[in-house]
Structure 1
Amino acid sequence: MSNAASTGSSSLPDAPVPEHLPRRLNLLQGTALNMIDMVGIGPFVVLPLVIKTLGGGLFLWAWVLGAVVSLIDAFVWSELGAAFPQAGGSYNFLKISYGEQRWGRLLSFLYVWQTLIQAPLVLASGAIGFAQYVSYLTPLDEWQRKAISGGIVLLIIVLLYRKIDSIGTIGVVMWGAVLLTLGWIIVGGLTNVRIPLSQTLSSVSSISGGVLAVGLGQATVKTIYCYLGYYNVCHLGGEIQKPTRNIPASMFISIVGIAALYLLMNLSVVSVVPWQQAQHSQFIVSTFIETLYGPGVARLATILVLIVAFSSLFAVLLGYSRVPYAAAVDGQFLRVFAKLHPTRQFPYVSLLFLGGLGFVFSLLFRLSDVIDGILAMRIMVQFVGQAVGLLLLHRRRTAETFPFRMPLYPIPVLLAIAVWLLIFASTKVTFMLSGLAVLALGVVAFLLFNRYRRQWPFGQ
């Protein structure tokens, strides 16, 4: 990665490329793309892991806490997204908040640097989970799983290689598939209760408070992975209609809606499948439907889960492909990433690069290797960094700068910073160190990059 960021510097522009993305996504389409990004394969593979971490009825609290963290953080994203509705999301937020000539350059560069690694990892995690559920339909060897996960990434690239107009329509159709799948699970379980909810909620493990806190922190890390994506609309900020209203609205609608669906889905599943059995299932939704309706209907449910996972990968690559594009247009990354397709007007080089790397990662890694690592890699720069940046921005700019104003400012910002730091501390040491290592390498790449260009901290 460092070679990609530091070599070829002679092709970097000194001025922004005068190309713009058309604003053609409305509130419904933006919300749909958010929600399909959030759901994906996550809840279907994470649900058993959360139950296993906490046991009994305590597992529901991890999903509630995940939603609370997301809502608090959404206030930060809403103020920044409404004030600066541009392609690239956090890239622009960090650059503007910390100053475009010095520290903002470093923080925004580090975000793009992380995106080159974590965005393909997110894509790979969904593709690997997709292949895992396919193995319920038919037994698969290891090479067959890899072939399926890699093939799915390639298919996503092909579908995204088009105008944003049709992508918005595709996103709404996929959103319908998400709601249909979750709705079926919820209604099926709650209308065929076999295990009283009171029995599940009363089965609480007898563990000490300290151990419980650690377990709840680790479980919440996994549930937050299932909520990530509520800010996808900010990455598409340059393509959203009426952004000062639609960007905040789409985030809060997405979080509240998905939180309700997740909680109902969990209650539905444990009302049919005992939590002691559910915590060990690799295909919990398939097991759940099979218990209710038999293996034939379970295969149909599995196909719907695969459609949902596919839809999420579609939204993930769409949003992240705008980040290197935004940095290149700004003159802070390889010029080739600033190119828009000559007739379809989308950043095709960025799409192909991130998608291609996601294809490679889907062949190299296991699902368990990436879920915690993805979050640990993002927290310090993207979540904590831009929350601190918002505090700095409020000191330098007037209230008119922010079309959306969070209630009780700055309490939500301070809470967001504290919670993200706590979650970072709850991740495993290996993932914490890997996230910090990526940051350190990014700093080195930034210094080499700017030394060559004779920019801060080596020149004007």
Structure 2
Amino acid sequence: MQELSRKIGLFQAVSINMSQMVGIGPFVTIPLMVGAFGGPQAIIGWIAGAVLALADGLIWAELGASLPGSGGTYVYLREAFQYRTGRLMPFLFVWTAMLFIPLIMSTGVQGLVQYLAYLWPSMTRGQGDIVGIAVIALVMLLLWRRVENIGRLTVGMWAVMIVAVAAVILAAFTHFHPSLAFTWPAHAVDLGSGTFWLGFASGLTIGIYDYLGYNTTAYLGAEVREPGRVLPRSIIYAIAAVMGIYLLLQIGVLGVVHWQDMLDSNNVASQSVASAVLQDTWGKGSADVVTVLILVTAFASVFTGLLGGSRVPFDAARDGVFFKSFGRLHRKYDFPVLGLVAMGIVTAAGFLLARHVGSSAAHPPLAILITLLTTVMVIVQSFAQIAAVIVLRRRQPNLKRPYKLLLYPLPLIVAGIGWAVIYGYADKANPGVHPIEWSLGWVVLGVLAYLVWSKAEKTWPFGPKQIREEYAEGADATVSQPSR
């Protein structure tokens, strides 16, 4: 059977994570964050998002280092929950990931087209649709190759991302006005106000969306060299670096652009805030150049996201927990073919949905997609991985853990509170959208699909559980247990 080869080193791994984390996110969500908080106090959202990202990233670091398989969360849930619910949890994760990962990528494509409109102001909606689909097709073409070649390409795009972000930050701080960034409206932080906490929950959702990507290399665990050392470092280094970048970027932008302009749909700052910064500071020519760099950055985030996402169903298919065709590698280039194709198709569908869903100032399509994505992800990934750390420490105490959570269980508690705030306020922050109901409905459909599949495969609850501690020291072959 063909196996994935370990070709990705530490620098490439950090580059992959950072490219996916930064991407187009902060350039399109700064106005959304300002809208959520109602002023420059939006910086609170970035700080809160950073705290949640770090706490959750430490969870990924322990799980990724001890269970370095292809598929990330799939492997962790398979190992942790096999004792009581058989293959249900890994099946649900793959079911969910096949939706939320490419939809995250679709927001990146949408942001790319949004910034392209700065250079092409006469672009129609139909032309934007064509551009977005063409971008997705190009990403698919570039991913149709060996992973070691992809690693080198990713480092190049990572360098462009650094230049783009550095240019915006430098331009902002050479024309920085502290009064714009640090003059907050009256009662900006009213801890006794329900409005503040509603804005905080919305801001935290936007913030963690922008940090998402710190876990990309965990999905590529079977292709990372020395995963016990490289995976934790790639996650922690990427989060620390991007924390600094985001804080500088947010403060710098707020010190140049009036925050009210970001809420005006007729102002360029509401759609292309980084371009507005460059235009106001270094002139239109510089704004055009940096906008091109931002487009490359957006492309890099979609590229690395589909690279990692396409590996998610691979291990599940090899284990017989997903359709077998997803477990086949390309005969020449050794990458999961169907996973890449399927995620590309869903990305295109999500992009077109975001383009054509009715929008309003209160509920822009990107904000709605971000909320729907995070609420689905919280149930089957975020909460489940917190439980997985606890279960694995109890069920597999001899599991080799090259990295163990610092200050355990504090990161679990902080992450749990953060994800609970995002999920609990989702409906109130998005009236009429019903993200909680949609997320629960998707999970229920997944359970029904699992029951149909498990009956056909004669596995739990219609057959014996398959207990396989693949990564434990001295682990034996698969052991069947009677269904209880």
Report if TM-score (shorter chain) is over 0.5: yes
Q: Which residue of 2 aligns with 1:5?
A: none
State how far apart, in whole Å, the 2-side matches of 1:175 and 1:409 are: 33
State how far apart, in whole Å, the 2-side matches of 1:19 and 1:158 are: 22
Query: Aligned-pair distance for 1:444?
Result: 0.5
Q: Deviations over 1:412-449 (max 9, x none)?
A: 11222222112111223611111111101000000011
- Which sits farther off after the overlay, 157-166 or 46-55? 46-55
Query: Aligned-pair distance for 1:199?
Result: 4.8
Match of 2:183 among 202, 207, 229: 202
Match of 2:55 among 72, 87, 90: 72
Q: Where do 1:202-351 residues align within 5 Å?
A: 202-206=183-187, 208=190, 209-210=192-193, 211-280=195-264, 281-351=270-340
Give the letter for the 1:323 counterpart: V
Structure 2 contact 86–460 (Cα < 8 Å) conserved? no
Query: Aligned-pair distance for 1:399?
Result: 5.6
Q: Which residue of 2 aligns with 1:133?
A: 115
Is 1:450 the equivalent of 2:454? yes
SS of equivalent to 1:259 = helix
CA gap 1:303/1:458 in 2 versus in 1, 3 angstroms: same
State how far apart, in whole Å, the 2-side matches of 1:95 and 1:414 are: 23
Query: Aligned-pair distance for 1:229?
Result: 0.7
Taking structure 1 as the reference length, the TM-score comes to 0.93
Q: Which residue of 1 aligns with 2:359?
A: none
Q: Which residue of 1 aligns with 2:388?
A: 389
Q: Which residue of 2 aligns with 1:403?
A: 402
State how far apart, in whole Å, the 1-side matches of 2:133 and 2:437 are: 28
Structure 1 contact 102–456 (Cα < 8 Å) conserved? no
Query: Aligned-pair distance for 1:302?
Result: 1.2
Q: Which residue of 1 aligns with 2:92?
A: 110
SS of equivalent to 1:428 = helix
Q: Which residue of 2 aligns with 1:371?
A: 370
Structure 2 contact 19–304 (Cα < 8 Å) conserved? yes
State how far apart, in whole Å, the 2-side matches of 1:131 and 1:205 are: 36
Q: Where do 1:352-363 residues align within 5 Å?
A: 352-363=341-352
Q: State the number of aligned residues.
A: 440
Is 1:121 the equivalent of 2:120? no
Structure 2 contact 180–255 (Cα < 8 Å) conserved? no
SS of equivalent to 1:407 = coil
Question: Gaps spanning 5+ residues in structure 1: where?
Answer: 1-17
Query: Aligned-pair distance for 1:364?
Result: 2.6
State how far apart, in whole Å, the 1-side matches of 2:461 and 2:374 are: 30
Larger helix proportion, structure 1 or 2? 1
State the percentage of identical aligned residues.
34
Q: Which residue of 1 aligns with 2:473?
A: none
Is 1:437 the equivalent of 2:441? yes
Q: Which residue of 2 aligns with 1:421?
A: 420
Structure 2 contact 160–293 (Cα < 8 Å) conserved? yes
Q: Which residue of 2 aligns with 1:47?
A: 30
Taking structure 2 as the reference length, the TM-score comes to 0.88
State how far apart, in whole Å, the 1-side matches of 2:309 and 2:456 are: 27
Q: Which residue of 2 aligns with 1:161?
A: 144
- Which sits farther off after the overlay, 363-372 or 380-389? 363-372
Structure 1 residue ranges, 4+ long, deviating more than 4 angstroms after superposition = none
Structure 2 contact 257–277 (Cα < 8 Å) conserved? yes
Q: Where do 1:170-181 residues align within 5 Å?
A: 170-181=153-164
Structure 1 contact 50–59 (Cα < 8 Å) conserved? yes
Question: Gaps spanning 5+ residues in structure 2: where?
Answer: 265-269, 356-364, 429-433, 465-484
Query: Aligned-pair distance for 1:79?
Result: 0.9
Structure 2 contact 454–462 (Cα < 8 Å) conserved? yes
